[in-house]
Chain A
Amino acid sequence: MQLQIDRSDQPGWAIISPAGEIDLATVSQLEDALTASMGNGDTDVAVDLTGVTFMDSTGLRALLAANQNLSGSGHRLALIVAGGPVDRLLDISGVGQTLEIFQSLEAATA
C-alpha cells in the first residue's frame, strides 16, 4: 500500500502520522484519519508529514478542509514538515499564511 497512517494522542492533541505518498488513490485514508481525530471535537490536531514522500493538491485540499473545520470549532491544525516535496508544495501553493507549519512535533505542540 502506498500510504500508512499512525494515530496517537498527547494531552490536548490528536497526532496523525502518514507515511508514504498522498494522492487521489490514498487521500481518502488521510481524510478518514482527520475526520476520526476531529470527531471528539475537543482536541487540536497535528499532522506529522515528515514521513510523506510525495503529496499533490488532493492532499493539500484535505488539509485545508480540516483546518477550516477545526478553526470553526476553535481548534488548531498544525503541520510538521521538514523539507522535501511536501515543503515544496506548501511553498508554491502559497498556503503558508493559512496553515500553521512547524519543523518538529515538539514545536507544534509546545
Chain B
Amino acid sequence: MNGLLSLRIAGDPLHLTTARSFAGSIARVLGLDEGNRQDIRLAVSELVTVLIRSGPAEVRVVAEVDTDTPLLHLHTDGTLPPIPSETVELLTALGVAVWSIDQPWVVRLGGAAGA
C-alpha cells in the first residue's frame, strides 16, 4: 500500500475511538507489532483529545504510509491549541515527535520508524 490515508471526524469525544481505530489500522499497514500499535493508538488519542478540547467542528487525520519515516498530519477547522507539556512528555516517552508551528500538526511515529 502507498500514498495517503485520511480520516475526517466530528470534533466530539465520542469519535476518539474512531481515531484510535484508524491509528491501529495505519499501524497494521506499517507492519508494526502489537506493542507499537498500542503506542500509536495512545499517541493519536492524546493528540486528538487536545484538538477536540479546543472545540473544532471537525478533525482530520492524514497518514503518509509510503515513506521511510511514517508521518501523520492532524488538521482542524480552527486554530491549533498549544500541546500541554504533560502530553509532550508522554509522547516523548512513546518515541513520538510532534511539530506544531502551524496547521497541521505533523507527527512522526518513532516506533514505526524504527520498526
A interface residues with partner B (beta carbon < 8 Å): 2, 21, 23-25, 54, 56-58, 84-85, 88-89, 92-94
Contacts and interface: CB of A to CB of B under 8 A. Distances in A.
Counting chain B residues whose Cβ lies within 8 A of the other chain, the interface size class is 20 to 34
Contacts of A88: 35, 38-39, 42
Contact of B52 (A2, A24, A92): A24
Interface of B: 13-14, 16-17, 20, 35, 38-39, 41-42, 45-46, 49, 52-53, 86-87, 90, 93-94
Given A24-B52, A25-B16, A54 B93 contact: no
A83 to B, nearest CB: 11
A92 B86 CA distance: 12
Contacts of B93: 92-94
Given A56-B46, A88-B42, A24 B53 contact: yes
A88 B86 CA distance: 16
Nearest to A2: B17
Contacts of B35: 88
Contacts of A21: 17, 20
Nearest to A27: B13
Given A92-B93, A92-B94, A23 B39 contact: no
A23 B42 contact: no
A78 to B, nearest CB: 23
A84 B90 CA distance: 17
Nearest to A85: B38
A23 to B, nearest CB: 5
Contacts of B49: 23-24, 56-58
A89 B52 CA distance: 21
B16 A24 contact: yes
